């Protein structure tokens, strides 16, 4: 059972122990008792004639648990699939009162060593971090995401194959003997309304045309043209 400060002080008073609130717990010469029952540290203090027990409360960080949806927008497929799951997770996190203490450390000093026991609020065990939640959701939707990726790759390959045949038979393209000419050709080609469907083959994760990919593709097609034209 998690003790709030008033309850903790009443417990100390019952066993004639003085409680001193502190802002932190020792890091060196530290022994953590197993379990969370405060009676263990009280019995230790009484058996060793220790009159004072120190205690410190800490709070959970809400941001550690909340999922920032804006950071997932780059991964468009996953964020769309898991949107309702993420909303449900965040709604649950927002229902928790993070103004209440979540962790209680009680310790005493004995022979230069800090003897400590930690008591955590039960609701803390019900929470999972944003990273852990995202990892679980990605595992949940792994098969669907793989299917989407495979289908998109197949569609992209079909578009590139179609576009390759168009370029190989385009007299203007065959005259683009250097990268600057090919870069400009691709810019104009993809800007035409009748060629809109080819743009998706060169989109990056943010939905912008990747100029590097378009030029690489143009260079590849031109290399094929040069090789076949020599036959």
Tell me the DSSP string of 88-138: HHHHHHHTS-TTS--EEEEEEEETTEEEEEEEE-GGGGG---HHHHHHHHH
Nearest partner of 169 among 129, 224, 207, 116, judged by Cα: 224
Q: How far apart are CA 160 and CA 18, in angstroms?
A: 77
The C-alpha angle 162, 167, 168, rounded to 5 degrees, equals 100
Tokens 């593709």 correspond to what residue? 217
Report the phi/psi class of residue 58: left, alpha or beta, with left for phi > 0 and alpha for psi in -120 to 50: beta
Query: pLDDT tens digits for the chain (231 residues)?
Result: 788 999 999 999 999 999 999 988 888 888 999 999 999 999 999 999 999 999 999 999 999 999 998 888 777 889 899 999 999 999 999 999 999 999 999 999 999 899 999 999 999 999 999 999 999 999 999 999 999 999 999 999 999 999 999 999 999 999 999 999 999 999 999 999 999 999 999 988 777 889 999 999 999 999 999 988 765
């Amino acid at each position: 059972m998690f003790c709030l400060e008033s309850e903790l002080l009443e417990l100390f008073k019952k066993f004639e122990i003085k409680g001193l609130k502190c802002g932190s717990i020792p890091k060196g010469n530290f022994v953590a008792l197993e379990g969370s029952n405060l009676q263990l540290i009280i019995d230790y203090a009484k058996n060793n004639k220790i009159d004072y027990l120190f205690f410190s409360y800490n709070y959970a960080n809400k941001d550690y648990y909340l999922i920032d949806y804006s950071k997932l927008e780059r991964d468009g497929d996953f964020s769309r699939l898991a949107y309702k799951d993420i909303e449900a997770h965040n709604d649950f996190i927002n229902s928790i009162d993070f103004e209440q203490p979540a962790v209680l450390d009680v310790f005493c000093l004995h022979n230069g060593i800090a003897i400590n026991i930690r008591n955590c609020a039960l609701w803390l065990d019900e929470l999972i971090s944003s990273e852990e939640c995202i990892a679980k959701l990605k595992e949940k939707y792994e098969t669907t995401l793989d299917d989407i990726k495979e289908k998109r790759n197949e569609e992209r390959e079909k578009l590139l194959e179609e576009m390759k045949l168009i370029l190989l038979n385009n007299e203007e393209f065959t005259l683009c003997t250097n990268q600057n000419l090919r870069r400009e050709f691709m810019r104009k080609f993809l800007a035409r309304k009748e060629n809109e469907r080819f743009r998706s083959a060169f989109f990056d994760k943010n939905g912008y045309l990747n100029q590097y990919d378009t030029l690489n593709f143009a260079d590849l097609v031109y290399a094929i043209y040069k090789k076949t034209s020599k036959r």
